Amino acid sequence: MKIRVGFGYDVHQLAEGEEFWLGGIQLNHHKGSLGHSDGDVLIHAICDALLGAANMRDIGFHFPDTSAELKGIDSKILLKKTVELIAQKGFTIGNIDSTIALQKPKINPHIPEMQKTLASVMGIDIEDLAIKATTTEKLGFVGTEEGVSAYATVLIQKI
């Protein structure tokens, strides 16, 4: 069995009055992510990690932010398509480890719902998807609540 590892990172600016999609669910918060799609940084980081592990470039290559067809798209659709793309090369997901960096709102209460939602989209077991959350202790763009970032590491296997 061949295994490969991928890493993904994404950042989105936060703005007043925008919807806040994170980990495939909508959070109730006065700020939300700005983006061409729904701005879900966790899904975007996971997509980049999966595509990188399969040596298939990045999310912007497959789903460009210049495409009118993708404007406002639900990032869960992009994630499902990404899983299909790597499957076409014979890869399946072994596991995913991810971290969200966000000052507010607190994410920990939402992690089980995010895991359930994303595992379902990817067709993997919840136990194979770790989601962690951290703040930056009020430092940088995350700490000043100007933005949100997410990191993901994935293991994929070719059978």
**Domains plus CATH for the chain?**
2-158 (3.30.1330.50)
CB neighbours of 143 closer than 8 A, spacing ≥ 6?
Answer: 103, 135, 136, 137
Helix (H) or strand (E) holding 21: strand 20-22
110 marked among binding-site residues = no
36 is in an annotated binding site: yes
> Is 20 marked within a binding site?
no
Does residue 44 have a known ligand-binding role? Answer: yes
Q: What pLDDT score was predicted for residue 108?
A: 95
134 is in an annotated binding site: yes
Annotated binding-site residue? 147: no
99 has binding-site annotation? no
What pLDDT does 159 receive? 80
CB 132 within 8 A of CB 102: no
pLDDT digits (tens, 9 = 90+) for 10-40: 999 999 999 999 999 999 999 999 888 999 9
Per DSSP, helices labelled H in 1-152 are 41-53, 59-62, 75-88, 111-122, 140-143
62 is in an annotated binding site: no
Low-confidence ranges of the chain (pLDDT < 50): none
Q: What is the pLDDT of residue 70?
A: 79
Q: How far is CA 128 from CA 60, 119, 136, 144, in A?
A: 25, 8, 26, 32
Q: What distance in Å separates the CA atoms of residue 154 and residue 15, rounded to the nearest whole number?
A: 29
Residue 142 annotated as part of some ligand binding site? no
How far from 62 is each of 18, 107, 125, CA to CA, in Å?
Answer: 25, 29, 26
**Model pLDDT, residue 75:** 96
Cα distance between residue 140 and residue 73, in whole Å: 29
